[in-house]
Structure 1
Amino acid sequence: MGPRRQLLVAEACISMLVARVSLAIFPFRRVAKSFGVMVPPNDPRVLAYADGATEEQARTARMVSWAVRVSAPHMPFRSVCLQQAMAAHAMLKRRRIVSIMHFGAGKGEGKPIDAHAWLDAAGVKVTGYPVAPTLAELGCFV
């Protein structure tokens, strides 16, 4: 792995740690302010998020996706979908790439409810995919 990829993996690890600590210290409502505005899934801003995205932005989104996916299993804590989406969102935001963070819920196996977060950017499925067909999308941050 070259130095550029190593730095990207280190950034992903730090971003997931920051997400984990933020969620442990602050209420979700406060943390969510950095995600943008919560809108319903059928909001026009959600449907048009990838409009105008360049191939370079899509390539960067794929690299961020890779770094988060590779790093998550090796964190000293369980890095769940929300922390991964938050980390990728922060990494893309630093690169001025617009992303959409989706939230959904549904009936879980062995538990009353299953919640999930996933992230899209520049037409790329960044984190949290595949999304289970039993989940209903509740809202998005744009």
Structure 2
Amino acid sequence: MLHKFKKFRKLSSEEKKLFVEAYITLGMMRTALLTISFKRLTRDLEHLSKKEKITALNDKEMSLAIRIGQAITRAAAYTPWESACLVQSLTAHTMLQKRGIPGVFYLGAAKEEESKENMKAHAWSQCGETIITGANGHEAFTVLSVFGWTGKQTV
């Protein structure tokens, strides 16, 4: 436990703030997934075609998006609840949209290697050309749905 606290203390003040925000938002998104329908959770997102062009970001927006993705990944490793890929993608959406940064998240599926009947799913978030959450192994999944949000802030 002391080791974790020392690691946290080494973070910059911005990284600490993003970590705490990510941790809290991960908890809210996990709770929301357990209590609210997915359709309702994503009602403010635009359902995009798989081939739609992703909005490019300027250097400042991209840098912040990457730091947010890192904070989400870091915080997800420390939650006592399950903070899997979908929770992380919804958290990324919430944190990025709050800052007016556009992006998309993908839902994909793949057959499990051991069984031809069982499927596994994955979600990942992307800003510009950079995947900010869920990058590991996303290539193995066939995209089923794409959800996007604009850079317009919501209240």
Same fold flag (TM > 0.5): yes
Where do residues 1-142 of structure 1 align in structure 2 (5 Å cutoff)? 1-34=11-44, 36-42=45-51, 44=52, 47-50=53-56, 53-110=57-114, 112-142=118-148
Distance in 2 (alpha carbons) for counterparts of 1:86 and 1:33: 12
Displacement of 1:29 after TM fit? 0.9
Contact 1:49 1:122 in 2 (8 A): yes
Query: How big is each residue's C-alpha offset from its partner over 1:69-100, in whole Å with a ceiling of 9 and x where there is no partner?
Result: 11111001121000001111111001000010
- Contact 1:22 1:31 (C-alpha < 8 Å) held by counterparts: yes
Root-mean-square deviation (CA, aligned residues, Å) is: 1.4
In structure 2, how many angstroms separate the alpha carbons of the residues matched to 1:120 and 1:2? 24
Gaps of 5+ in 1: none
How far apart in 2 are the matches of 1:15 and 1:83? 9
CA apart distance, 1:110:
4.5
Q: Which runs of 4+ in 1 moved over 2 A?
A: 130-134
- 8 Å contact kept, 2:124–2:138: no
- The structure, 1 or 2, with the larger RCO (C-alpha pairs under 8 Å, 6+ apart) is 1
Unmatched segments (≥5 aa) in structure 2? 1-10, 149-155
Identity %: 26
Q: Which structure has the greater CA radius of gyration?
A: 2
Specify the alignment match of 2:151 in structure 1.
none
Paired residues in the alignment total 136
